[in-house]
Amino acid sequence: MRSVNIMKKVLCLLLAVVLFASVPAESVSAAVSKTKKAATPLKKNGQLRVKGTTLVNSKGKAVILKGVSTHGINWFPEYVNSSAFKTLRDSWGVNCIRLAMYTEEYNGYCSGGNQKKLRGLVDKGVKYATELGMYVIIDWHILSDGNPNRHKKQALSFFKYMAKKYKKHKNVIYEICNEPNGGTQWKDIKSYAKSVIKTIRSYDKKNIILVGTPTWSQDVDVVAKSPIKGYSNLMYTFHFYAATHKASYRAKVENALKKRLPVFVSEFGISESSGNGKINKSEAGKWIKFLKKKKISYVCWNLSNKNESCSLLKRTCKKTGKFKASDLSAAGKWYKSQ
Ligand code: IDC
């Protein structure tokens, strides 16, 4: 009786081995890639925090966010959709979306735009990113308004709304002022930032907050001399456009890192700083190599088909998702290949 049982077991085992060996290699790799797909960027990394100058995941391991920024969501709301984000995640390897909401330009949040509608767009963007397990930056995109204090009251109520709503989301990042400019000094930005950070932190204790720096978010070296004290998980933004900003700007970042300032590139392009003109792939390559070496996260401007060389889509591309190689601009092709 016992030997019959053993025989049965041996036969079963043999059968299993034969069956496994006959499964075509493709379906094994399909199954593997399916499990890989299931592990979204968010599942893999969970709650992010800042350790020293680096962004780390829930296990304390360094993580680099590689993102794409929308154009202004008030100009190009059509790209805030799940299919676009999914394409970026699955075929570009993007793990972070930046939702740029202009405050001043073209019906911006503080210049006559429909605030309820704009908040709704941000909410939609956060929802899609969350469903896809991607990180998402809520960007208060000051630009021609120069000094963030100009719309400080509105910023406080906007971030109060967002932080209250997203305090339990592990994938939300707040960017409180895109690019201070027009001679706005660090001390002015710092005082604005302290108020906004205090408001955010009274609801959301953990998520990363990105603080803009003087001169279109480039003077990280200046900020490094007197960073904001008393809060954790703050990072400072550095922006560059590769055809304009080269080695001397990398030196500014190095300088800031040496002084232990956590830096995050929440916007860059490979065109000139106007967003147009030539693109410079070789300089862009140097930047990416540098950022990877320093473990700095980066987000590329921008997902739209606007007729500008910084746009990632061709002017003729009318699609708002499922982009193919033929839909991409030169900048888009370059970024996807990274
Ligand atoms: C540009 C857009 C362009 C728009 C302009 C508004 O690409 O379509 O007309 O803003 O003034 C930045 C800004 C970002 C700029 C971008 C390119 O953060 O808003 O977008 N840029 O000029 N800083 C440096 C370059």
> How far does the centroid of ligand 1 lie from the alpha carbon of residue 112, in Å?
19
Atom number in ligand 1 closest to CA 267: 18
φ, ψ for residue 308 (rounded to 5)?
Answer: -145, 150
Q: For the chain, what is the mean pLDDT?
A: 92
> How far does the centroid of ligand 1 lie from the alpha carbon of residue 306, in Å?
11
Which residues line ligand 1 at a C-beta cut-off of 6 Å? 105, 143, 178-179, 216, 239, 241, 267, 273-275, 301, 306, 308, 310
Atom number in ligand 1 closest to CA 310: 7
pLDDT at 305 over 80: yes
Atom number in ligand 1 closest to CA 216: 23
Specify if 150 maps to a domain: yes
| pLDDT band, very low/low/confident/very high, at 25 (cuts 50, 70, 90) | very low
Nearest CA to ligand 1 atom 19: 143
Counting other chains too, the contacts that 272-277 makes at CB distance below 8 Å and 24 or more residues apart are 272/241, 272/243, 272/244, 272/309, 273/216, 273/241, 273/243, 273/244, 273/245, 274/241, 275/241, 275/301, 275/308, 275/309, 275/310, 276/308, 276/309, 276/310, 277/243, 277/309
Specify if 120 maps to a domain: yes
Distance CA 227, CA 233 (A): 12
Specify if 67 maps to a domain: no
Task: Kindly state the percentage of the chain with pLDDT values over 70.
Answer: 89
> How far does the centroid of ligand 1 lie from the alpha carbon of residue 26, in Å?
45
The best mutation among 99, 301, 311 to test binding of ligand 1, ranked by most ligand atoms within 8 Å of the C-beta, falls on 301
Say which CATH number the domain at 251 has. Answer: 3.20.20.80
pLDDT at 240 over 50: yes
Average pLDDT, integer, range 236-258: 98
For residue 302, say if its preceding peptide bond is cis, omega within 30 degrees of 0. yes
Interval 62-71: pLDDT, tens: 999 999 999 9
Atom number in ligand 1 closest to CA 75: 8
The best mutation among 310, 311, 312, 313 to test binding of ligand 1, ranked by most ligand atoms within 8 Å of the C-beta, falls on 310
- Closest alpha carbon to 235 in 201, 209, 215, 204: 209
Average pLDDT, integer, range 136-161: 98
Please give the tally of structural domains in the chain.
Answer: 1
Specify if 157 maps to a domain: yes
pLDDT of residue 15: 46
> How far does the centroid of ligand 1 lie from the alpha carbon of residue 249, in Å?
19
- DSSP H or E stretch at residue 38: helix 25-38
Task: Read off the DSSP letter of residue 328.
Answer: B
Distance CA 251, CA 253 (A): 5
Tokens of 258: 């040496």
Specify if 30 maps to a domain: no
> How far does the centroid of ligand 1 lie from the alpha carbon of residue 108, in Å?
14
> How far does the centroid of ligand 1 lie from the alpha carbon of residue 308, in Å?
10
Tokens of 192: 């604005």
Interval 100-138: pLDDT, tens: 999 999 899 999 999 999 999 999 999 999 999 999 999
Specify if 45 maps to a domain: no
Across-strand partners of 175? 139, 210
Atom number in ligand 1 closest to CA 275: 17
Decide: 235 and 264 in contact? Cβ < 8 Å: yes
Active-site residues, by number, are: 179, 267
Specify if 8 maps to a domain: no
Specify if 32 maps to a domain: no
| pLDDT band, very low/low/confident/very high, at 8 (cuts 50, 70, 90) | low
How long a stretch of residues is the chain?
338
- Closest alpha carbon to 228 in 271, 183, 182, 177: 177
Q: Radius of gyration of the chain from Cα atoms?
A: 23
Q: Which domain holds residue 110?
A: 76-337
